[in-house]
Structure 1
Amino acid sequence: MFFLSYHSCVEHGKVYKQFWAADVNVLLLIGQKRDCHSSNSENTKPSMEELNEASIAVPDCLRAEGSDECAIRRIPSALCSFVDPFCDPKKPVKTTFSDISSAAFNIRDGINRTPTIKSDAFSSMFDVELFFKQEFLQVTGSFKERGARFALMRLTKEQRQIGVIAASAGNHALALAYHGHQLGIPVTVVMPKFAPLMKISCCESYNAKVILHGLHIQEAKIFAYELAKHENIKYINGFDNPDVIAGQGTIGLEILDQVSNVDAIVVPVGGGGLIAGVALAVKTLKPQVLVIGVESEMCPSFKNAVEQRDEPLHPESSLADVPTVGDNAVFMAEGLIDDLVTVCEESIALAILRLLEVQKAVVEGAGAVGLAAFISGKLDYLRGKRVVSILTGGNIDTTVLGRTIERGLAVDGRLIKFDIVVSDRPGGMAELTSEIGKTGASIKDLFHERAWLAANVYSELITHLGKKYKQISFPGLLSHNLPRKIGIRDE
């Protein structure tokens, strides 16, 4: 006799039912939540050992009442105003169009004029004329080079000799290190302890001084601010320095020059410097062009700032996260952005996978959010329009890329995990694998568990599948009172 009951399992917003029988347990899941933190190198000691070892005291005047997390969110902007007078939340500075024009002229020999190409495949898929501005083709792999180079070129002679410092999780650090090396300017970068090893090594290869401090970018910034004050070094904010914003705005000029009659430009949003600069450039020359920002819904910092919501900060990893935004950037972007949408992690993972498979481009999560917005249906109102999406960077850690590909396959229904209990008898497992084989699916992984289960054999199988729906049937393994087929996807 079989005793049947079931309970629901929620995964990625969908409900699946888990059926229990005397010796059959079937669970079909699509995707898994994975930890996106990467484990890399050991800590390296900074030049000032006493600063690295001592905890940095936060001034009482900067602490907010109530949540400590809210206080953490406000600290970087407040401290930055003491280090960089052009990043004062009480006196935001607006970059002008002439600043962007000056940046375009001055950096033209030091950065790549990246191509903007039309994707026929994605254009057909989303019923738009979709172009990609390929900023991941810069030497260091991201658009950050534009702002970093212009900011370095604007330094005084004395500042060039002393050098500069910045806190960055990777791309701004890479850009500053590379162009500092090209221009002969000493660069110090403070990165979180768990920054990707690839980015740390690249910064060091450009002769930059790398300091690992803090568990996340906020702690790294606070340390960098204190070090800048102590050493009297120029701090260059990666997304709120006016010169950096001007440099990023040159992308808007290039897009208008490369794509005629463009209707909309989709801009990934992190700290806000990119969209502020691009929006200013585009709206000055062609105010009818829509400027649309996209950011991760796990870390909607810019959206919160625009809507003036004081959300507490939870420093957690996302495929496209920047926990704070620039005060200058928000001040500038006001009235220039036509729409601001957020996308989920699943859409970002799928966008990275789609770009890899269709466009043959390796793009990081923050750079793929534009395509993610199309995938999630957030930009359906652009159907029939001529649209440019900026692929801002390609510096995704290899370990994260592997996990992201698997997650993208899971979201796409091409990687499926399910648990099943089969009886410990000759041919039991063979019958199961035979039925899976008949569908054309391959088994990616198989795990047996016997010790802690009442049943004889516990098998966890992850199958790599294709796009079209088929059915897996388990004759002889399932009771006739249970569903005999489990819907999966196959080529």
Structure 2
Amino acid sequence: MKTREVPDVSLTVQHVLHAAEALRGVAVRTPILTSAALNEELGREVWVKAESQQLTGSFKLRGAYNALAALSPADRKRGVICASSGNHALALTVAARRFDVPAAVVVPEDLPAVKRRAILSHGARIVPYARLTGRRDALVHQLAHQHGLTIIPSANDERVIAGAGTVAWEMLQEVCGLATLLASVGGGGLAAGTALAASGHDPALRVFGVEPAAADDTHRSLRVGRRISIPPPFTVADGLGHSEPARIPFEINQRLLAGVLTVSEPAISEAMAYLFRHFGLVVEPSGAVAFAGLIQALDDLPDGPVGVIVSGGNVDWNTYKALLDIAMARMEASHHAAAVLH
């Protein structure tokens, strides 16, 4: 078994730039979108980075591929393993196939069917665990030891974080004058990579993480100044349901983030509806959380244009339709009530 070594240097924007070179010709440079109707409605210029249209349907390919590219040929030949709620598992599977590397993924028993089918279609071995009671990390280490596999964490890895940072770096090359950048928080890798990219671009740019209020481990940890654990959370944003922030991302986020916003479950589904209505994007709940932060905390954000990273779009159709129907009905009722009052 091999666990990724953390170099005795601090991650900087240079690591993000090196990841961008490694990903050239591999990761899609995803669209950056704006909507005149939404800007008028919110009274703010908003730009959306549609990582839901990335290969594998989420930003996770960037970090997984960057980490695999850094392995020695001997380590790659032995194979890799990860634990994931789905998107990192799919990303590692696709990256491993590009390198002709065997991959195993430890995923929840209730993994959405769309993610399970995609992982299997790329030839990875799926090992399920019980989300609320299973010892996921212990299982990963056991399998890695038995089969000589290298563990590629979903967030707690410097090369994974640097790869995730290329999302924001691309956005900052194309959109000038952003005052705020919002990224979702699960293990914390995307937010940490985003903050690193921003730190090398414009020190005045403020980066906020956004996480479900039902899974607010990073928000609580930042408030007390150390990583703390919460009970296994339940949130519709299944990819962000972490009990504790990952160590390396937390150290970066503690240093560079302006803060972490928390959003309600209804706000997440309403964000999915906004993204469909204004941009035609089909987004999974976890992928819509940063946009939910924009809607819920708009008046508390710094003045000026806002960038939002829409991190993924791998959602089961029945789940998506049910959440969208509920959100649309709630939004229509709210608009009707507002019209009656006026």
Give TM-score, length-normalised by structure 1.
0.64
CA distance in 2: counterparts of 1:383 and 1:95, whole angstroms? 27
Instruction: Report the alpha carbon displacement of residue 231 of structure 1 after superposing the two structures with TM.
Output: 1.9
Asked if 1:289 corresponds to 2:205, the answer is: yes
Asked whether 1:360 is paired with 2:280, we answer yes
1:293 is displaced (CA, Å) by 1.1
Report the equivalent of 2:191.
Answer: 275
| 2: CA distance, partners of 1:94 / 1:170 | 29
> In the alignment, does 2:164 pair up with 1:248?
yes
- Quick one: which of 236, 242, 246 aligns to 1:326? 246
Structure 2 CA distance for aligned equivalents of residues 273 and 250 of structure 1 = 12
Quote the offset at 1:193 in angstroms. Answer: 0.9
Residue in 2 that maps onto 1:412: 331
1:111 aligns with 2:27: yes
CA distance in 2, matches of 1:250, 1:357: 27
In 1, Cα distance between equivalents of 2:229 and 2:319: 27
1:396 aligns with 2:299: no
Q: Report the CA distance between 1:247 and its aligned residue.
A: 0.4
5 Å matches for 1:179-328? Answer: 179-216=95-132, 219-307=135-223, 308=226, 310-319=228-237, 321-323=240-242, 324-328=244-248
- Structure 1 position 413, deviation (Å): 4.9
Q: Check the 8 A contact 2:77/2:101 in 1, yes or no.
A: yes
1:276 and 1:327 map into 2 onto residues whose CA distance is 11
| Secondary structure of 1:291 counterpart | strand
Query: Aligned-pair distance for 1:469?
Result: 4.3
Residues 254-278 of structure 1 show CA distances to partners (whole Å, capped at 9, x for unaligned) of: 1110101221111111110011111
After superposition, what is the alpha-carbon deviation per residue over 1:325-359, rounded to whole angstroms, capped at 9, x for unaligned?
21000111222111211010011111111212222
User: Which whole-Å CA distance do the structure 2 matches of 1:218 and 1:298 have between them?
Assistant: 20
Q: What number of residue pairs does the alignment pair up? A: 337
User: Counterpart of 2:295?
Assistant: 375
Alpha-carbon spacing, 1:92–1:353, altered in 2? closer, same or farther (3 Å): farther
Inter-partner Cα distance in structure 1 for 2:96 and 2:307: 31
SS at match of 2:181: strand
Q: Is the 8 A contact 2:179 2:302 kept in 1?
A: no
SS at 2:241 equivalent: coil
- What letter is aligned with 1:191? V
**How far, CA to CA, are the matches of 2:134 and 2:200 in structure 1?**
34
The alpha-carbon deviation at position 311 of structure 1 amounts to: 4.5
- Structure 2 distance, partners of 1:218, 1:291, is 34
Distance verdict in 2 for CA 1:108–1:85, change over 3 Å: closer
Whether the aligned pair in 1 keeps the contact of 2:163 and 2:193 (CA below 8 Å) is yes
Contact 2:4-2:152 at 8 Å conserved across structures: no
More strand by share: 1
Q: Is the 8 A contact 2:283 2:310 kept in 1?
A: yes
1:339 matches 2:259:
yes
Larger relative contact order (CA 8 Å, sep ≥ 6): 2
Q: Which residue number corresponds to residue 468 of structure 1?
A: 336
Shift >6 Å, 4+ stretches: none
After superposition, give the CA deviation of every residue in 1:22-54 in whole Å (9 maximum; x if it has no partner). Answer: xxxxxxxxxxxxxxxxxxxxxxxxxxxxxxxxx
Letter in 1 for 2:179: D
Which of the two has greater helix per residue? 2
1:133 to 1:309, Cα distance in 2 relative to 1, 3 A: same
- The structure that has the greater radius of gyration is 1
Structure 2 CA distance, aligned partners of 1:217 and 1:337?
32
What amino acid maps onto 2:270 in structure 1? L
Of 228-237 and 94-103, more deviation after overlay is shown by 94-103
| Structure-1 separation of matches of 2:156 and 2:86 | 16
Distance 1:202 1:358 in 2: 28
Structure 1 306/206 Cα, relative in aligned 2: closer, same or farther at 3 Å? same
SS at match of 1:412: helix
Letter in 2 for 1:178: V
Distance verdict in 2 for CA 1:295–1:182, change over 3 Å: same
Which range moved further: 292-301 or 382-391?
382-391
Give the CA deviation at 1:383. 6.8
Deviation at 1:106, TM superposition (A): 1.0
Report how far residue 384 of structure 1 moved.
Answer: 4.9
- Match of 1:124, SS? helix
User: Structure 1 residue 85: deviation in Å?
Assistant: 5.3
Q: Flag the 1:318–1:383 CA change in 2: closer, same or farther, 3 A.
A: same
Taking the aligned partners of 1:218 and 1:271, their CA distance within structure 2 comes to 18
One-letter code of the match for 2:276? Answer: L
Q: CA deviation at 1:214?
A: 2.2
Q: Indicate how the Cα distance of structure 1 residues 173 and 299 shifts in structure 2: closer, same or farther if over 3 A, else same.
A: same
Q: 2:46 matched to which residue of 1?
A: 130
Taking the aligned partners of 1:158 and 1:85, their CA distance within structure 2 comes to 14
SS class of match (1:159): helix
Cα distance change on mapping 1:210 and 1:403 into 2, 3 Å: same
